[in-house]
Amino acid sequence: MKCFVVMQGSTYQEEKELGFIWASKLDSSGMVSHSWERMTEVNEGDRVFHYVKRNIVAVSVATTGCQLAYRPVNLQNYESWNNKGYLVELDYHELEIPINIPSNFDNILPHLPIKYSPFQTNADGNQGYLYPCNEELSIELLELIGDLNIYQEDDVQLELAIGTVRPTERNTFIPLIFETESEAKAMIRLGRKKFRENLIPLWEHQCALCGIELPALLLASYSKPWKDSTELERLDPYNGILLCSNHGMLYEKGFIAFDGQGRLHISTKVPPGDYEKYGIHTKMKIARKEENKPYFRWHKRHLFLSQNK
């Protein structure tokens, strides 16, 4: 199961009533758009979040995979050059309460990928049509949807912090929300478990920086995070490093990095006077593998340098 975000705007109502999404193969200049071509990645059973005017207004399930199709005659919001394209049939579940992206952006922003994000850093939607929605972002959106559309705290239950399910016709999508969230969490859990199991032996079962060996204190830290990685990169043990909890968090947050030679780089946001507290110094070096190098470069360029702006 994969998830996507579709940016519909004025086409939403028509496409919802007709039960599909449709995108042209080429733009007005005859070029291929990645956000339209991504329609070919949709398979039966995949989930789609529908974005309209800064809100997620519906969640749907693909009832077919992508099909080549001419522009449906009932679809009026396209120019005449948009005739050949891609179509995916969907079962729409409209939300009773839409999820406003700007209002919830502090929770959403950490889960956005650097490349092909559906949302800009100012909380606006990106131009385009269909965007991938990684599992971490999917879970965040599903939790926001659940909080507003499934659970409601009444005065009696407020002290117990137990929600009641709203007895409305809209609750047909409740199993969909729970199933989608469960599958996304399972995919992350199983993927990270396999990643850790394969990574640990590469670093001789100890922190690459300080040598700590206690398994409970060791993190299989990604160089290229889950949200930015392909399916293969998520399982590649060279896309990471084994570090203790202290050094692992410094690495994952971009406060330290490694270059192609394995030399440690420390963010300017870490005061030199605190190096001893964190158990780091500028002359530290790890025994990296050749396969680590492209991932270390990605981490240094995208996570470490952002901490030094």
Q: Where are the domains of the chain?
A: 3-169, 204-308
Predicted confidence at residue 1, as pLDDT, reads 94
Query: How many CB atoms sit inside 10 A of residue 99's CB?
Result: 23
Query: How many CB atoms sit inside 10 A of residue 226's CB?
Result: 19
Under a CB-based contact definition with an 8 Å cutoff, are residues 93 and 57 in contact?
no
Under a CB-based contact definition with an 8 Å cutoff, are residues 254 and 267 in contact?
yes
**Whose CA is closest to 21, among 50, 41, 1, 45?**
50
Rounded distance between C-alpha atoms, residue 3 and residue 72, angstroms:
24
Residue 10: C-alpha distances to residues 48, 83, 137 (Å): 17, 18, 24
Under a CB-based contact definition with an 8 Å cutoff, are residues 82 and 64 in contact?
no
Predicted confidence at residue 82, as pLDDT, reads 64
Q: Tell me which DSSP letter residue 300 carries.
A: I
Predicted confidence at residue 165, as pLDDT, reads 44
Q: Which fold has domain 3-169?
A: ph1033 like fold (3.10.590)
- The pLDDT profile of the chain, 309 residues, written as one tens digit per residue, is 999 999 998 889 999 999 999 998 887 677 888 999 999 999 999 999 999 999 999 999 999 999 999 888 666 555 545 678 999 999 999 999 999 999 999 999 999 999 999 999 999 999 999 999 999 999 999 999 999 988 654 444 444 444 444 444 455 678 899 999 999 999 999 999 999 999 999 999 999 999 999 999 999 999 999 999 999 999 999 999 999 999 999 999 999 999 999 999 999 999 999 999 999 999 999 999 999 999 999 999 999 987 776
Rounded distance between C-alpha atoms, residue 227 and residue 136, angstroms:
7
Predicted confidence at residue 32, as pLDDT, reads 83
- For residue 150, the Cα-to-chain-centroid distance in whole angstroms is 23
Predicted confidence at residue 309, as pLDDT, reads 67
Rounded (5°) CA angle 182-188-194: 130
- For residue 212, the Cα-to-chain-centroid distance in whole angstroms is 31
Predicted confidence at residue 171, as pLDDT, reads 56
Is residue 159 classed as helix, strand or coil in its secondary structure?
coil
Give the global pTM.
0.88
Predicted confidence at residue 294, as pLDDT, reads 97
Partner residues linked to 15 by β-bridges = none
Q: Tell me which DSSP letter residue 125 carries.
A: B
Predicted confidence at residue 173, as pLDDT, reads 77
Rounded distance between C-alpha atoms, residue 227 and residue 253, angstroms:
14
